[in-house]
């Protein structure tokens, strides 16, 4: 799938919320790689979508659990 942000030339219907994308509005165009004639239009942010989640403070990434694996040591 190839995604591209475009300005709609004609009135389109959003394939996510089924609302209208007016001409001149920026939207996301998704095109199938195997069938280029199959295209989908989506709002950048659908009007009926909930507010984005905002994190109060960034948290450091979790460290992976250490796994004690015996490593053979060969003496010379």
Q: What is the pLDDT of residues 14-44, one digit of tens each?
A: 998 888 999 999 999 999 888 878 899 999 8
Range 45-55 average pLDDT: 68
0.95 exceeded by pTM: no
Strand, coil or helix: what is 26?
strand
Beta-bridged to residue 7, according to DSSP, are: 26
Q: What is the mean pLDDT of the chain?
A: 80
Residue 6 confidence class, pLDDT cut points 50, 70, 90 = very high
């Amino acid at each position: 799938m190839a995604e591209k942000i475009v300005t709609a030339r004609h009135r389109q219907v959003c394939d996510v919320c089924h609302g209208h994308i007016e001409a001149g509005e920026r939207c996301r165009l998704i095109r199938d790689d195997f069938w280029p004639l199959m295209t989908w239009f989506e709002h950048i942010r659908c009007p009926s979508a909930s507010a984005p989640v905002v994190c109060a403070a960034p948290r450091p990434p979790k460290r992976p659990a250490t796994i004690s694996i015996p490593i053979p040591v060969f003496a010379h």
